[in-house]
Amino acid sequence: MKEQLNSIRMQAEQELSNVGTITELENLRVKYLGKKGELTTVLRGMGSLSPEERPVIGQLANEIREALEAKIDKAKEELSKKERLNKLEKEVIDVTMPGKRKMLGKKHPLSIVLDEIKEVFLGMGYEIAEGPEVELDYYNFEALNIPKNHPARDVQDTFYINENILLRTQTSPVQIRVMENKKPPIKIICPGRVYRSDAVDATHSPIFHQVEGLVVDKGVTMGDLVGTLKLFAKSLFGEKTEIRLRPHHFPFTEPSAEVDVSCWNCGGSGCRVCKNEGWIEILGAGMVHPKVLEVCGIDPEVYSGFAFGLGVERTAMGRFNIDDMRLLYENDIRFLRQF
Ligand code: PHE
pLDDT single digits (tens) 2-56: 888 888 888 888 888 888 888 888 888 888 888 888 878 877 777 888 888 888 8
Q: What is the spatial distance between Cα 225 and Cα 52, in angstroms, rounded to a whole number?
A: 113
Return the pLDDT at 173: 98
CA gap 201, 124 in Å, rounded: 35
Atom of ligand 1 nearest to the CA of 213: 9
pLDDT of residue 255: 97
Instruction: Report whether residue 307 contacts ligand 1, using a CB cutoff of 6 Å.
Output: yes
Q: Are 222 and 259 in contact (CB under 8 A)?
A: no
Ligand 1 atom 2: residue of nearest CA: 309
Q: Indicate the domain borders of the chain.
A: 2-90, 109-336
* pLDDT tens profile 142-156: 999 999 989 888 889
- pTM (whole model) above 0.75: no
Q: How confident is the model at residue 196 (pLDDT cuts 50, 70, 90)?
A: very high
**Res 67 pLDDT > 90:** no
* Cβ 309 under 6 angstroms from ligand 1: yes
CA distance 127 to 194: 20
CA 260 to centroid of ligand 1, rounded, Å: 14
Phi and psi at residue 239, to the nearest 5°: -55, -30
Q: Does the pLDDT value for residue 288 go beyond 80?
A: yes
Question: Ligand 1: does its nearest atom lie under 6 Å from the Cβ of 195?
Answer: no
From the CB of 315, is ligand 1 less than 6 Å away?
no
- 129, pLDDT greater than 90: yes
Q: Is 232 in the pocket of ligand 1 (CB under 6 A)?
A: no
* Site to substitute for ligand 1 among 144, 169, 170, most atoms within 8 A of C-beta: 170
Nearest-atom number in ligand 1 for the CA of 194 is: 4
How remote is the CA of residue 265 from the centroid of ligand 1, in Å?
A: 25
| Bigger pLDDT: 303 vs 36 | 303
Regarding the beta carbon of 253 and ligand 1, being less than 6 Å apart is answered: yes
**How much distance in Å is there from the Cα of 209 to the middle of ligand 1?**
12
Is the pLDDT score of 106 beyond 80? yes
Query: Does the domain formed by 109-336 have CATH 3.30.1330.10?
Result: no
Q: Which of 172, 204, 281 to mutate to test the pocket of ligand 1 (most atoms within 8 A of CB)?
A: 172
Q: What is the CB neighbour count within 10 angstroms for residue 219? A: 8
